């Protein structure tokens, strides 16, 4: 089976300079993928450097969604934007996934408008992987939903578990609930009620996970509302940047420390690769009738390539069908429980 | 003026072994402080090693609040606990501050019960300093209040600004609101309304701060609800632990990397001291009619000493009076605004 990915080539801080180069690299790395380069043809073609790649095609789209454009405006006024056209291709079955480094709010809104939600899912959620002491953890929601009900958190759990089950071939990934204490009595009402629902969900629910547990890797999937998830993600990014700055400052303090830096360089290099956020680039927008992956706006070629890989992986492992199946099972279980309690 | 600190010697993971040694060190480091060692006398005395310190006195208290005890039980059933007696000493004017490494929930509840709140403040908040690229930032609330109204966030801002104004001698510390975007339209309803109130508060409000802005040092004080604050704090702790583990693993991989570690040791040492969480130990419980500082439960002697220093500093710089003054001014401003609008 060939996987076709529609790429919004105009999105992100660097546009085609990054997206087209990454697409070229993507089709060269994988025999089973095709890419549709969506955007302003005249701006895309130069970056192909005349390369003849039968598995790369350009699909012209005349408009571009700006990084600061309101989602509502992007839906209404830009029907021929690269983002919209890429999502249309997924809806029409010409591509199996869409990848964009553009405006997150617009991508969420247009995805929802064009692709619609999977049955039983109220809202899309943003899910990404973070490194942990023992591997990595998938966290959602990372910012799509600022207010969530307990039921939304359960839907996130089902979607996250389905994703991890698919791409990591795990039967029953463990699911944790981000909270401010491990005991059941901790947290706000939404989180307490979500814990009760998760216990009865049939998922492999391991209970509350505190902030520090996230990076200990105590669960494969951790769910939270989008406000908390976004803060946790950005606080982590900010902290890593600060520590990197401090490390650079200390190593460049004087000739002696610069010598030490030389000696430590290979070690620091390995260390950096291990926590390299570029390897983790590509957040899945889950809950839609189609695979949509959001790349960091500032992504470079390597980083955008990770997002493309992530999208192809989700197609190959049939993530959508797994989420639907899980939601079905959940609905049947609820019906059974209700009929039993009559 | 002498500053007298009542120390709950039985709290924390290590009890008197840490608290009493830190107290000895504390009075030796500062000429202007006294310490009242509160707890089971027979368990405290051995750690004094027969030292004659006129500025250290023992106040026997027969009970101990367990680390996992419910706050309600601690209030009702343990009227002679070291924690309770230390707070009683503050209420009765025999000490100006209380420091404890014990059960956070119990310390919050007993403090509120014994000391009562300052006029105009509804709830106490936990405030601590975190290092940033340019200095440090005081963040509150870090876990006392899981649900907050916009008005609570404004009270936190006033308390945080008063604390920073006092201990850092700053006239108008900048105050930010933790949010998931810098634009006004971002965030949930509570945060949006809080931003409006903060704009009219007379504080030096600098707007929304994203998670990564926290460690960039874009504001002196950052306010958030206790759920988000606690997650941000613990995620940071967990991330630092994971990075330290990775660094150790990489440096101990083989003889060559161990040699590199030797060369890099002084640099890594300086780096570690710079982000040493022990220097930042001691969270203030703000909003009470008395100074209460909570030490990390696992604190060692150095770390607990930082918490003692923090308490003495808050007394010397008159934090309580500053918060009261600020609240007064706020109340008058509100009355004026209301009378103008009639």
Give the pairing of strands A3-8 and A97-100: parallel
**How many Å apart are CA B85 and CA B79, to the nearest integer?**
8
Inter-CA distances, A139 with A113, A221, A286, A300, Å:
24, 6, 12, 23
Do residue A257 and residue B267 have CB atoms under 8 angstroms apart? yes
Which of B233, B234, B250 comes nearest A271 by C-beta? B250
Quick one: pLDDT at residue B53?
Answer: 86
Report residue B338 as tokens: 């209301």
Smallest Cβ–Cβ distance between B260 and the set A246, A257, A263 belongs to A263
Q: Which among A146, A187, A260 has CB closest to B180?
A: A146
A178 three-class SS: strand
Contacts of A26 (CB under 8 A, 6+ apart): A5, A33, A35, A305, A308, A309, A312
Q: Inspect the interface and report whether the beta carbons of B260 and A264 lie closer than 8 Å.
A: yes
Distance between CA A222 and CA A127 in Å, rounded? Answer: 10
User: What's the complex ipTM?
Assistant: 0.88
Q: Distance (Å, rounded) from C-alpha B129 to C-alpha B139?
A: 6
pLDDT at position A342? 58
Whether A264 and B261 lie within 8 Å, measured CB to CB: yes
What's CA B80's distance to the chain center, in Å? 25
The predicted pLDDT at position B269 comes to 81
pLDDT-derived band at A341, boundaries 50, 70, 90:
low
CA nearest neighbour of A126 among A284, A306, A324, A288: A284
Which residues, 6+ apart, have CB-to-CB distance to B300 below 8 Å? B14, B18, B278
Residue pair B99/B308 in contact (Cβ under 8 Å)? The answer is yes
Q: What is the pLDDT of residues A80-139, one digit of tens each?
A: 999 999 999 999 999 999 999 999 999 999 999 999 999 989 889 999 999 998 889 999
Residues 270-329 of A with CB under 8 A from B: 270-271, 274-275
Distance of alpha carbon A96 from alpha carbon A49, whole angstroms: 26
In this complex, is the C-beta atom of A113 within 8 Å of any C-beta atom belonging to chain B? no
Is some CB atom of chain A closer than 8 A to the CB atom of B194? no
Q: Do A227 and B188 touch (CB under 8 A)?
A: yes
Look at B267 and A259 and tell me if their CB atoms are within 8 Å: no
In the 8-state DSSP scheme, what is residue A277? G
**Which tokens in the block code for residue B48?**
């004094």
Cα first-last separation, chain B: 48
Interface test with chain A among B131, B136, B180, by most A beta carbons within 10 Å = B180
A67 touches chain B (CB under 8 A): no
Residue with the larger pLDDT of the pair A186 and A77:
A77
Residue whose entry in the numeric block shows the structure tokens 């983002």: A83
**What is the least distance, in Å, from the CA of B165 to any CA of chain A?**
25
In B241-260, the residues whose Cβ lies within 8 Å of chain A are 241-243, 245-247, 250-251, 253, 257, 259-260
> Testing the interface with A: which of B239, B250, B255 to mutate, by most A Cβ within 10 A?
B239
Judged by average pLDDT, the poorest of A242-251, A263-272, B34-43 is A263-272
> Distance between CA atoms of B35 and B312, rounded to whole angstroms?
10
Which residues in chain B (119-158) have CB-CB distances under 8 A to chain A? 131-133, 143, 146-147
| Alpha helix stretches (DSSP H) within chain B | 16-29, 41-44, 71-77, 82-91, 104-115, 150-167, 189-199, 211-216, 226-251, 255-275, 301-316, 319-340
d(CA A269, CA A279): 14
Q: For helices B319-340 and B301-316, what crossing angle results, to 10°?
A: 50
**Which residue in B253, B261, B264 has the most chain A C-beta atoms within 10 A of its own C-beta, making it the best mutation to test that interface?**
B264
Strands B135-140 and B204-209: unpaired
Candidate from A187, A257, A267 with C-beta closest to B257: A267
> Tens of pLDDT along chain B (342 residues)?
899 999 999 999 999 999 999 999 999 999 999 999 999 999 999 999 887 888 999 999 999 999 889 999 999 999 999 999 999 999 999 999 999 999 999 999 999 999 999 998 988 999 999 999 888 999 999 998 888 999 999 999 999 999 999 988 888 999 999 999 777 767 888 999 999 999 999 899 999 999 999 999 999 999 999 999 999 999 999 998 888 888 888 888 888 888 888 878 888 888 887 777 777 899 999 999 999 999 999 999 999 999 999 999 999 999 999 999 888 887 787 777 767 665
For residue A271, give the nearest of B224, B247, B271 by CB distance. B247
**Per-residue pLDDT reduced to its tens digit, A154-167:** 999 999 999 999 98
Q: For the whole model, what pTM was predicted?
A: 0.90
- How many other CB atoms are found less than 10 A from the CB of residue B298? 12
- Residue A7 pLDDT grade (very low, low, confident, very high; cuts 50, 70, 90): very high
Q: Report how far residue B222's alpha carbon sits from residue B172's, in angstroms, rounded to the nearest whole number.
A: 14
CA distance B218 to A296: 22
The answer to whether the CB of A7 falls within 8 A of the CB of A23 is yes
β-bridge pairing B283-286 and B125-132: antiparallel
Q: Which domains does chain B have, with CATH numbers?
A: 1-121+287-319 (3.40.718.10), 122-280 (3.40.718.10)
Tokens representing A232? 């946790």
Q: Is A212 on the interface with B (CB under 8 A)?
A: yes
Given an 8 Å threshold on Cβ–Cβ distance, is B234 in contact with A263? no
* CA A133 to each of CA A264, B237, B249: distance values in angstroms, whole numbers, following the listed order: 22, 13, 11
Task: Please state, in angstroms and rounded to a whole number, the distance separating the CA atoms of residues B342 and B338.
Answer: 7
A–B CB contacts, 8 A cutoff, strictly below:
173
The 8-class DSSP code of residue B296 comes to P
A211 Cβ under 8 Å from any chain B Cβ: yes
Of B123, B104, B139, nearest to B229 by C-alpha is B139
Q: Is B41 on the interface with A (CB under 8 A)?
A: no
* Partner residue facing A231 (CB), from B228, B264, B271: B228
Question: Which of A207, A199, A206 has its CA nearest to residue A183?
Answer: A207
Can you read off the two tokens belonging to residue A118?
Answer: 């999977």
- Residue closest to B10 by CA, chosen among B74, B62, B75, B68: B62
Strands annotated E in A1-124: 3-8, 33-39, 56-60, 97-100
DSSP track, A74-89: HHHH-TTBHHHHHHHH
| Cα–Cα dist B230/A100, whole Å | 33
Decide if A270 and B259 are in contact by the 8 Å CB cutoff: no
Average pLDDT over residues A141-150: 91
CB contact under 8 A, A231 and B232: yes
Q: Are A53 and A24 in contact (CB under 8 A)?
A: yes
Cβ neighbours of residue B26 closer than 8 Å, sequence gap 6 or more: B5, B33, B35, B305, B308, B309, B312
- Count of CB atoms within 10 A of residue A193's CB? 16
Buried b (16+ CB within 10 A) or exposed e, A33-54: bbbbbbbbeebbeebbeeeeee
- Minimal CA separation from B276 to chain A, in Å: 12
CA distance B97 to chain A (A): 27
- The pLDDT value given to residue B27: 96
Spatial separation of the C-alpha atoms in residues A19 and A8, rounded to whole Å? 8
Beta bridge partners of A288: A117
Of A181, A241, A235, residue with least CA distance to B233 = A235
Of the candidates B155, B66, B72, B77, which has an alpha carbon nearest to the alpha carbon of residue B108? Answer: B72
């Amino acid at each position: 089976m060939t996987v076709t990915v529609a790429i919004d080539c105009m999105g992100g801080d660097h546009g085609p300079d990054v997206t087209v180069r990454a697409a070229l690299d993507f089709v060269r790395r994988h025999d089973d993928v095709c890419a549709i380069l969506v955007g302003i043809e005249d701006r895309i073609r130069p970056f192909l450097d005349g390369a003849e790649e039968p598995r790369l095609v350009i699909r012209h789209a005349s408009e571009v969604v700006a990084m600061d454009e309101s989602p509502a405006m992007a839906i209404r006024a830009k029907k021929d934007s690269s983002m919209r056209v890429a999502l249309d291709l997924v809806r029409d079955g010409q591509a199996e996934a869409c990848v964009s480094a553009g405006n997150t709010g617009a991508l969420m809104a247009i995805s929802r408008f064009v692709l619609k939600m999977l049955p039983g899912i109220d809202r899309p959620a943003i899910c990404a992987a973070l490194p942990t002491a023992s591997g990595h953890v998938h966290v959602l929601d990372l910012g799509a939903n600022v207010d969530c009900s307990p039921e939304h958190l359960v839907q996130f759990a089902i979607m996250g578990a389905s994703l991890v089950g698919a791409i990591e071939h795990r039967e029953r990934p463990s699911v944790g609930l981000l909270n401010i204490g491990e005991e059941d009595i901790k947290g706000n009402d939404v989180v307490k009620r979500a814990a009760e629902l998760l216990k009865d969900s049939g998922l492999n629910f391991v209970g509350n996970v505190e902030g520090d547990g996230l990076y200990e890797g105590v669960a494969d999937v951790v769910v939270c509302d989008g406000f908390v998830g976004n803060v946790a993600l950005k606080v982590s990014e900010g902290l890593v940047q600060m520590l990197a700055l401090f490390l650079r400052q200390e190593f460049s303090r004087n000739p002696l420390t610069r010598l030490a830096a030389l000696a430590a360089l290979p070690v620091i290099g390995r260390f950096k690769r291990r926590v390299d956020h570029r390897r983790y680039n590509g957040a899945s927008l889950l809950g839609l009738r189609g695979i949509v992956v959001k790349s960091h706006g500032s992504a470079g070629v390597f980083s955008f390539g990770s997002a493309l890989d992530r999208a192809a992986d989700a197609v190959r492992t049939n993530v959508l069908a797994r989420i639907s199946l899980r939601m079905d099972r959940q609905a049947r279980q609820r019906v059974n429980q209700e009929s039993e309690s009559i």
